[in-house]
Amino acid sequence: MIGKHLLSMNQLTAHDITQILDTAESLRRVTDRPIKKLPTLRGRTVCNLFYEASTRTRISFELAAKRLSADVINFSADSRSSVAKGESFKDTAWTLEAMGVDAIIVRHGSSGAPHQLAQWVDAHVINAGDGAHEHPTQALLDLFSIRERFKEIEGLKVAIVGDIIHSRVARSNVKGLITMGAEVTLVGPATLIPREAASWGATITHQLDPLLEDLDVCYLLRVQKERQNEQLFPSLREYANLWGLDARRMSKMKADALVMHPGPMNRGVEIAAEVSESPRSIILDQVANGLAVRMSLLYLMLGSNEGIDA
Amino acid sequence: MSDVLITNGRVVDPATSLDEIADIHLTDGSIARIGTGLSVAGAEIVDVTGAVVAPGLVDMHTHLREPGREDEETIATASAAAAAGGYTAICAMPNTDPVQDSASVVDQVWASGREAGLVEVVVSGALSKGLKGERMADLGEMAGSAARVRLFTDDGHGVQDALFARRVMEYLVSVDGIYAEHCEVEALAAGGQMHEGETSHRLGLRGIPAEAEELMAARDIALAKMTGCRLHLLHVSTAGTVELVRRAKSDGLHVTCEATPHHFTLTDATLEGYDPMCKVNPPLRPARDRAAVIEGLKDGTIDAIATDHAPHAQQEKDQEFSYAPPGLVGLETALALTITELVDPGHLTLAVAVERLSTTPARILGLDGHGSLATGRPANLVVFDPAAEWMVDPMKLRSKSRNTPFAGRTLKGKVLHTFFNGKQTVTAGEVVRGALV
């Protein structure tokens, strides 16, 4: 079973992931109905505790909780502003606990913050992205989107391209994809790939072109523009030339191969505009599926007692 | 005129190559005689059958936090923690507020240490004004002050500018000072939260590579060779640094170094749970480096075990991992960790452990009154039961701060009595209040 908290993709077996994806599939049908709401979490309170700006993840969780009839409260603060105001992360956690919150969905710029939170509160904790560590629900919605197209994840060849070292999306996806039996290759300049990433079970390479024709999925990560100032690569132009997915590169990919991106995109850097809008791109499916996967998680973690602590 | 007779202990004194069951007669604060079957009329008898009597421990690396952060520790509370841990001398690091970079500040710390009266507070001085690595601190004036500063360091910061390091080393030769370095190239370590390696990359925490320490160690060894300055490397933590020091020593250079109990006990694997208590600088390293530190302590490449005792207020450690300050308290666990992790598993004999905890650090700091049980010396000694087990309870620490990663751990080796200049500062494990006052 999933466990009380979802902090890392490490804690999920292939069986757990399949259960989450299967449940998401059933729940998605609800969202196709005229009345898009289930009573499962009526009387339960879910708090979105966001210490980092986020639109899609917060809205997605909020909507997922509301579709299951939970009460939702949103608490947003910049990581450091709450410190400046004098209320610590721990005090905020205890305050929410005292108010009887059932689940805390936490986004934080500091890696490990959800782990610390889980030690302080009785509520369920769901990691909605922590520093450069993990973003498990992103990986789950990506797995859902891939499975939807290919039916099976096992044996697929997936390349994750770009800034692996600073990416929580990459860390969660590598774990999830490998657990589900995919072959993962990490692609990018050596400055953006941890030297030890081979121990994650992925293959490391620095050139994208030789891989393209064998790929089933080309997963592009956002290049943060400020990285340019850290001398991790010479320029955005050079990055786009060497690792960006443009129409020419995409044309080498198999007919049914997919292009994915966690958003927000830098069109013209890691992904060309025509690629993002091509039929191979399932970027908007990813967003839509995020809602179903998050409903599934809340349903499984909070919905029935058997599903929680067993 | 007071006489104390400590009877039936196993007396371990590496300085005089003594390791036998004997009695020790203390009179007027000094060691009068060591022998078997001693009897002194009117002496207070302290029977320590089954326990070890050793020279009082000497910590080369203690953060006392006074002046500036008296909410975290004071010279008095640090002295009490030190006495409870078996120490008779501790070296106060200069990163206080104000910084110990002038004669007036070092003398103030020194006088407060005397007033606390539980251990000898040896005062170190900053290398640079305000620890900024730009302008020399008042090196000669601190050396000549009442505190008689001998060890100089910008601990907490490595000296980044090689020319400045060279100039300070050259100058220190003329005032008989030791240049002690916190080896860390900031450009490589900036923003780092833990050791850079497999674990940091998996946890998504920015790493501090071993090379950040090793590059500066290598630079300083080269400059020490060039200038003839005495060099001491603080808290060495990597296999590479240990090897650099080993080579420097075999080249005949006057280089010494220390390692902490947490670096020979813990590895970066303890960071898995993001516990800020395990956040420390230099960071906990992988098993290979830990093994190299133990090997260095074994073959004498590492001269001293030093605590890097670094008290932090609870609210500062109770933060997100990235915001919590690095450091942990160590005065009350160092001896037991040495016994549990090094002596018990057979890495060090008890005599070598005492050498690393007392004899050698006393010699490096030039403390004639510590590190030896030779007749006529001041009676600075510790009595401990090497077999007694106890559980670390942060609430029972005498230190004002409780930031230890060893909470709940059962350790072997318990301090029973500490004598400082002949006065008992700890009796049956309890600190004697106002021992010297």
Cβ <8 Å between A116 and B203: no
Chain B: residue whose CA lies nearest to A165: B201
- Shared domain for A195 and A236, answered yes or no, is yes
**Main-chain phi, psi angles of A267, to 5 degrees:** -65, 135
The alpha carbon of residue A5 is apart from the nearest alpha carbon of chain B, in Å, by 14
The pLDDT value recorded for residue B434 is: 62
CB-based contact A112 B206, cutoff 8 Å = no
At A98-153, the pLDDT tens digits run 999 999 999 999 999 999 999 999 999 999 999 999 999 999 999 999 999 999 99
Q: Tokens in use for B71?
A: 């909410």
Interface test with B, best of A9, A87, A88, A110 (most B CBs within 10 A): A110
How far, in Å, CA of A296 to CA of A291, rounded? Answer: 9
Question: Do strands A71-76 and A45-50 pair parallel, antiparallel, or not at all (unpaired)?
Answer: parallel
> What is the rounded distance in angstroms from the CA atom of residue B23 to the CA atom of residue B416?
16
Same domain, A303 and A198: no
Question: Between chain A and chain B, how many beta carbons pairs sit less than 8 Å apart?
Answer: 63
| CATH code (residue A160) | 3.40.50.1370
Per CB-CB distance under 8 Å, the chain A contacts of B318 are 88, 90
Chain B closest-CA separation from residue A127 CA (Å): 14
A201 with A259, same domain: the answer is yes
B267 phi, psi to nearest 5 deg? -125, 175
pLDDT at B437 over 50: no
Position A196 scores a pLDDT of: 87
Cα–Cα distance between B262 and A61 in angstroms, integer? 42
- Smallest Cβ distance to A196: which of B197, B205, B323? B197
The answer to the question of residue A3 being in a domain is: no
Q: What is the number of alpha carbons within 13 Å of residue B118 lying toward its C-beta? A: 27
SS (H, E, C) A229-263: HHCCCCCHHHHHHHHCECHHHHCCCCCCCEEECCC
In our burial notation (b when 16+ CB lie closer than 10 A, e otherwise), range B303-338 reads: bbbbbbbbbbbeebbbbbbbbbebbbbbbbbbbbbb
Contact B204 A79 (CB under 8 A): no
- Secondary structure in 3-state letters for A156-170: CEEEEECCCCCCHHH
Stretch among A229-233, B210-214, B316-320, B331-335 having the lowest mean pLDDT: A229-233
Provide the β-strand partners of residue A260. Answer: A219
Query: Does A214 lie in the same domain as A109?
Result: no
pLDDT of residue A79: 56
Whether A165 is covered by a domain: the verdict is yes
Whether A116 and B322 lie within 8 Å, measured CB to CB: no
Res A309 pLDDT > 50 = no
Q: Do A49 and A94 fall into the same domain?
A: yes
pLDDT in tens, B362-378: 999 999 999 999 999 99
Contacts of A20 (CB under 8 A, 6+ apart): A2, A12, A140, A293, A296, A297, A300
Q: Is B388 exposed, middle or buried (0-12, 13-18, 19+ CB in 10 A)?
A: middle
Q: Are A84 and A22 part of one and the same domain?
A: yes
pLDDT, position A305: 45
Determine, yes or no, domain membership for A106. Answer: yes
* pLDDT at A303 exceeding the cut of 90: no
Of the partner residues B193, B206, B320, the one whose CB lies closest to the CB of residue A108 = B320
Q: Indicate the SS3 state at residue A73.
A: strand
What pLDDT shows up at residue A78?
Answer: 67
Has B289 been annotated as catalytic? Answer: no
CB atoms within 10 A of CB A81: 10
Residue A84 pLDDT exceeds 60: no
B164: nearest Cα among B139, B196, B195: B139
Among B308, B318, B344, B385, the active-site one is B308
Out of A41-55, A222-236, B71-85, B300-314, least confident range? A222-236
Q: Please provide the size of chain A in residues.
A: 310
- The beta-carbon neighbor of B201 closest among A90, A109, A196 is A196
Nearest CA in chain B to A166: B204
Is the pLDDT at B103 greater than 50, yes or no? yes
Question: Would you state the pLDDT for residue B3?
Answer: 95
Does a structural domain hold residue A4? no
Confidence of residue A230 (pLDDT cuts 50, 70, 90): confident
Distance between B274 CA and the closest CA of chain A, angstroms: 6
Return the pLDDT at B340. Answer: 98
Mean pLDDT for B248-255 is: 97
Q: What are the two backbone dihedrals, phi and then psi, of residue A132, each rounded to the nearest 5 degrees?
A: -95, 20
What token pair was written down for B413? 């080796």
Judge: A168–B204 Cβ closer than 8 Å, yes or no.
yes
| B320:A200 CB<8 A | no
The reported pLDDT for the residue numbered B308 is 98
Q: What is the pLDDT of residues B326-373, one digit of tens each?
A: 999 999 999 999 999 999 999 999 999 999 999 999 999 999 999 999
Nearest to B222 by CA among B177, B181, B277, B280: B181
Please tell me the distance in Å from A210's CA to the nearest CA on chain B.
27
Q: Tell me if B204 and A131 make a contact (CB, 8 A cut-off).
A: yes
User: What CA–CA distances, in Å, run from A86 to A89, A92, B435?
Assistant: 10, 10, 41
The region that residue B325 occupies, defined by phi over 0 for left and psi between -120 and 50 for alpha, beta otherwise, is beta
Q: Are residues A48 and A81 in the same domain?
A: yes
Question: B216: which 2 tokens?
Answer: 């500066």
The predicted structure's pLDDT at residue A67: 94
Determine, for residues B201 and A165 on separate chains, whether the beta-carbon distance falls below 8 Å.
Answer: yes
B204: nearest CA partner in chain A: A133
**Best of B202, B206, B316 to mutate (most A CBs within 10 Å, chain A):** B202
Please state, in angstroms and rounded to a whole number, the distance separating the CA atoms of residues B147 and B109: 8
Residues A91, A179 within the same domain: no
SS (H, E, C) chain B: CCEEEEEEEEEEEHHHCEEEEEEEEEECCEEEEEECCCCCCCCEEEECCCCEEEECEEEEEECCCCCCCCCCCCHHHHHHHHHHCCEEEEEECCCCCCCCCCHHHHHHHHHHHHHHCCCEEEECECCEHHHCCCCECCHHHHHCCCCCCCEEECCCCCCCCHHHHHHHHHHHHHCCCEEEECCCCHHHHCCCCEECCHHHHHHCCCEECHHHHHHHHHHHHHHHHHHCCEEEECCCCCHHHHHHHHHHHHCCCCEEEEECHHHHHCCHHHHHHCCHHHCCCCCCCCHHHHHHHHHHHHHCCCCEECCCECCCCHHHHCCCCCCCCCCECCCCCHHHHHHHHHHCCCCCCHHHHHHHHHHHHHHHHCCCCCCCCCCCCECCEEEEEEEEEEECCHHHCCCCCCCCCCCCCEEEEEEEEEEECCEEEEECCEECCCCCC
Residue A204 lies in a domain: yes
Give the pLDDT confidence score for residue A308 in this predicted structure: 28
For residue range B410-436, list pLDDT tens digits in order. Answer: 999 999 999 999 999 999 999 997 654
What domains appear along chain B, each with residue ranges and CATH number? 3-53+377-431 (2.30.40.10), 56-365 (3.20.20.140)
Q: Which amino acid is at B329?
A: V
Token pair recorded at residue A59: 């809205």
**What residues contact A35, with CB distance under 8 A and at least 6 apart?**
none
If one counts the domains in chain A, the total is: 2
Q: How many residues does chain B have?
A: 437
A264: Cβ contacts below 8 Å, ≥ 6 apart? A222
Give B-chain residues touching A196 at CB under 8 angstroms.
Answer: 197-198, 201-202
Whether B274 sits inside 8 A of A88 (CB atoms) is no
Angstroms from A88 CA to nearest CA on chain B: 7
| Within a domain: A49 | yes
Cis peptide before B326 (omega within 30 of 0): no
Tell which wins on pLDDT, A77 or B27.
B27
Instruction: Please report, as a single letter, which amino acid is at residue A25.
Output: E
Choose from A8, A11, A111 for mutation: most chain B CBs within 10 A: A111
pLDDT-above-90 percentage for chain A: 82
Coil, helix or strand at residue A87 = coil
Please list every residue in chain B whose beta carbon sits closer than 8 Å to the beta carbon of residue A109. Answer: 322
Are residues A155 and A32 both part of a single domain? no
What confidence tens digit (pLDDT) does each residue in A170-216 have? 999 999 999 999 999 999 999 999 988 889 999 999 999 999 999 99
pLDDT at residue A34 in the model: 84
Q: Residue B215 to residues B163, B183, B189, B195, B219: CA-CA distances in angstroms?
A: 15, 8, 12, 15, 6
A250 domain residue, yes or no? yes
Same domain, A48 and A152: no
A174 and A237 housed in the same domain: yes
Residue pair B205/B284 in contact (Cβ under 8 Å)? The answer is no
- Tell me the ipTM for this assembly: 0.90
Nearest to A70 by CA among A104, A31, A97: A104
Contact between A112 and B321 using a beta-carbon 8 Å cutoff? yes
Say if A94 falls within a structural domain: yes
CB spacing of B319 vs A197 below 8 angstroms: no
Residue B339 distance to chain A (closest CA, Å): 32
CA A139 vs CA A177, A294, B22, B75: distances in Å: 8, 11, 68, 52
Residues of A at the B interface, defined by Cβ within 8 angstroms: 79, 83, 88-90, 108-113, 115-116, 130-134, 165, 168, 171, 194-197, 199-200
Structural domain that includes position A268: 136-282
Token reading at B407? 């909470």
One-letter amino acid at B333 equals T
Question: Given a cut of 70, is residue B206 above it in pLDDT?
Answer: yes
A177 & A230 share domain: yes
CB contact under 8 A, B323 and A83: yes
Q: How far is B394 from chain A (nearest CA, A)?
A: 18
- Residue-level pLDDT at A85: 62
